[in-house]
């Protein structure tokens, strides 16, 4: 259970790093696509019942910050 949640968080941050790397390289692909993937992973993670409670609300706040980029 803890390993699954850790994997979810690591997947989110890996996608965020890929998005950031694409922006820094001035990648010709649509940078919004990378950000959409981060938001998709956050949405899937928040919907997972294992995140109910305090940690889920932290993820929602993080999602709001990412969406504002």
Predicted local distance difference test score (pLDDT) of residue 24: 61
Predicted local distance difference test score (pLDDT) of residue 2: 80
Predicted local distance difference test score (pLDDT) of residue 66: 93
What would you report as the CA-atom Rg of the chain, rounded to the nearest whole angstrom?
13
What are 10-57's pLDDT values in tens digits? 999 999 988 887 766 665 566 678 889 999 999 999 898 888 777 888
DSSP assignment of 1-64: -HHHHHHHHHHHHHHHHHHHHHHHTT-SS-HHHHHHHHHHHHHHHHHSGGGTTHHHHHHHHHHH
Entry pTM: 0.80
Domain definitions of the chain by residue range: 2-67
Cα distance between residue 33 and residue 52, in whole Å: 28
Tell me which DSSP letter residue 68 carries. T
Cα distance between residue 26 and residue 13, in whole Å: 20
């Amino acid at each position: 259970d803890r390993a699954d949640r850790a994997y979810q968080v690591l997947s989110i941050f890996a996608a965020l790093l890929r998005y950031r790397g694409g922006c820094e390289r001035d990648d010709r692909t649509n940078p919004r696509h990378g950000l959409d993937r981060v938001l998709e992973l956050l949405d899937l993670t928040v919907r997972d019942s294992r995140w109910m409670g305090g940690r889920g609300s932290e993820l929602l706040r993080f999602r709001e910050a990412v969406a504002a980029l």
